[in-house]
Amino acid sequence: MIDTAKTLTLNNSQVQIADERNLLEVARKAGIDIPTFCYHSDLSIYGACRLCLVEVEGRGIVAACSTKPEAGMVVRTHTEEIRRMRKVAIELMLANHDQNCMLCPKNMHCKLQSLARQFGIDTVRFKRTFHRRPVDRSSLSLVRDPNKCILCGDCVRACDEVQGIGAIGFAGRGASSSVVPAFGKDLADVECVNCGLCATVCPVGALTPRDDVDAVWHEVNNPEKKVVVQIAPAVRVALGEVFGGHPGTIEVGRIVAALRAIGFDEVYDTSFAADMTVVEEATEFIDRKLNGGVLPQFTSCCPAWVKYAEQFLSDLLPNLSSCRSPQQMFGPTAKKVLPKKLGVSRENLIVVSIMPCTAKKFECKQTKFQTDGVWDVDYVLTTQELGRMIQEAGIRFNELEPAQFDMPFGFKTGGGVIFGATGGVTEAVLRYAVAKIKGVKLDNFEFVEVRGDQNIREADFNIDGTKISLCVVYGLGNARKVADMIRKGEKQYDLIEVMACPLGCVGGAGQPVTTDWAVRRWRADGLYDADKQLQLHSAQENHLLTATYDEYFEGGVGGHTAHELLHTTYHNRKRIQGVSMPVSQSEGTPALQISVCVGTSCFIRGSQALLQKIVEYLLDNELSHIVSVDATFCTENCDRGPTVCVGEQMIFKATIEDVVKVIKEKLAEVKT
């Protein structure tokens, strides 16, 4: 029986009100899909697109996304006036939009295209205001096409509210409004961490993952090259969606068959390298825990998180595990082992990764992941790109007979497979570490305490008297919250897992696009199902991994060769490239240039006050006509601020006395 005290009337039907935040959510619960561009349940309510308009009796036309449901409301969602207003709104967007849909990466998956078709729009009645602007292809991970932007603001809010970065934002007013990276720079030159969440929420083709399919086709068709490929855990539970499958369906056998049909010489599983990551990272953690090392230890598998830490949390870099990600462990291992096995030179062995992640494209092209000038991983394709590659090859995916991985890097345990779900890395490390500390094989391999949907989760364990406190986090804004609590002494953890994407890699920006939490959960469930279907569940049980260590890694786990090939270092990163603000300008060409970093780390160490003192000194000593002063945003020395550059000389932990002394020395040199 319906409680009329908690109901409203929606299109002549009674609908129960529960905990819905707005009329839009009530309508969706009732099976009515009110169109919207700018509404996402995990973002703030914005109300910019004006498509979700509904009529509320006694109130007139209101935005459904920002109107709270109340008992007794009478709501209509598709009156003649509302339908007309929605069509006008869509036509106005199209008038200022690049309508070359056939060449757009989002063709057939674009919400604007879909709504134009849904509302029967076959002509745009308004004058075209579209002016073509340059496409930003500077990023290794993403492409930003301002010609397709509809100003819905989804990317801006996702970057700011979920990731806590704000690498892109609104600029200009009225008809000149646009969404651009900070200071109008290219995406590669600002604080972007390449996570791709902006591309996930973008309803059109304004932000999309970078496409490297043609480059990989070239390598596959080069007879001089041997091309091997690794498949990340999360790919196997999402690729089927491209071909009409249900999210979470395990399609690893067909994926292997498809990759062989495309022309890859060997097909391997990144889960093998995930097992390798477990034994290295767990060994590092046990050493830190039992021998007084730096704690908490943060995981280092997510490249977006690592770049975020290098940009914003430089004081916590010693806390990051030195282990590379599974992708970057696989690369050097493959190029050490496979040349002899496949009869090819290291230079002609090409390693391709299939990843759920756009940040992996950036990760593999860092110079530190080269050996003798050869990339450890040559190319990264997303799940989306693999789907298109299969379609390009004319392969009927659903008709393929499943195939098996090649050995030895096709063998894995369940611990490596669950890496793709939030909490999976932590659970895999627990399976290894608990067995090592106890000195026995575990009867129950599952640690369900670290699983779940909450964006910050905690779990405590007592292992034969050794207490371990864990934290699992997804979303970089949440990672900052945890970091702040640690700094303030409010929380103490031993191990912290951080993933940038919602629910972990299963929600990566390279996966088939979805903002539906149910889809991400199905994918995560699929990984846990894959774990259960395997006979081995802990990394130490991977006998082919053990054999690889014995034959190719001097010193074994954590040894000399392992540290050379499987571990890395971190450094403070410049957050915004080439940005400075003139504070005091000389007349003509300055005899001396001074730059003061006013980035966050230097600012809290007093750089703003120091900047003021420098300007006052120049004015008091009548030097401002020959000396110019700029405020800069970063000099990549966050741990030694405030940092001042006088001419070519860097001064760390600078005081006004230090700066004045160098100014006098430099000006004396000029006069001489």
Q: In this predicted model, what pLDDT tens digit does every residue of 96-109 receive, in sequence order?
A: 888 889 889 898 88
Q: How crowded is residue 490: how many other Cβ atoms within 10 Å of its Cβ?
A: 9
Judge whether residue 634 has pLDDT over 70. Answer: no
Judge whether residue 435 has pLDDT over 80. Answer: yes
Q: What is the pLDDT of residue 174?
A: 81
Out of 389-398, 430-439, 568-577, give the one with best mean pLDDT: 389-398
The mean pLDDT value for 503-525 works out to 95
The model's pLDDT over 17-71, given as tens digits with 9 standing for 90+, comes to 998 999 999 999 999 999 998 888 788 888 788 899 999 999 999 999 999 999 9
Domain 89-209: which CATH class? Answer: alpha beta
CA dihedral 463, 468, 474, 475 (to 10 degrees): 180
Closest residue by Cα to residue 381 from 299, 276, 504, 258: 258
> Considering only 209-223, 578-592, 636-650, which range has the smallest mean pLDDT?
578-592
Q: What is the pLDDT of residue 669?
A: 83
Six token digits for residue 476: 């970089």
The mean pLDDT value for 515-544 works out to 94
Judge whether residue 268 has pLDDT over 60. Answer: yes
Q: Under 8 Å CB-to-CB from 66, ≥6 apart: which residues?
A: 22, 45, 47
Six token digits for residue 257: 């068959």
Q: What is the pLDDT of residue 640?
A: 77
Q: What is the pLDDT of residue 161?
A: 94
Q: What is the pLDDT of residue 578?
A: 61
The mean pLDDT value for 410-418 works out to 96
CATH 3.30.70.20 in the chain, residues? 89-209
Q: What is the pLDDT of residue 436?
A: 84
For residues 227 and 391, is the Cβ–Cβ distance under 8 A? no
Q: End-to-end alpha-carbon separation of the chain, Å?
A: 95
Q: What is the pLDDT of residue 479?
A: 97
Whole-model pTM over 0.95 = no
214-566 fold = Rossmann fold (3.40.50)
Distance CA 670, CA 626 (A): 11
User: Alpha helix (H) ranges present in 358-464?
Assistant: 359-364, 383-392, 414-417, 424-438
CATH 3.40.30.10 in the chain, residues? 580-671
Between residues 442 and 43, the one the model is more confident about = 43
Residues 444, 448, 450: CA angle, nearest 5 degrees: 130
Domain 580-671: which CATH class? Answer: alpha beta
The model's pLDDT over 294-316, given as tens digits with 9 standing for 90+, comes to 999 999 999 999 999 999 998 99
Judge whether residue 607 has pLDDT over 90. Answer: no
CA 233 to chain centre: 16
Long-range contacts of 128-131 (CB under 8 A, 24+ apart): 128/95, 128/96, 129/95, 129/96, 129/175, 130/95, 130/96, 130/97, 130/98, 130/99
Distance CA 418, CA 499 (A): 13
The CATH code that applies to domain 4-78 is: 3.10.20.740
Six token digits for residue 201: 């929420």
Mean pLDDT of all residues belonging to the chain: 91
CATH 3.40.50.1780 in the chain, residues? 214-566
Judge whether residue 277 has pLDDT over 90. Answer: yes
Q: pLDDT-based confidence at 287, cuts 50/70/90?
A: very high
The mean pLDDT value for 270-275 works out to 97
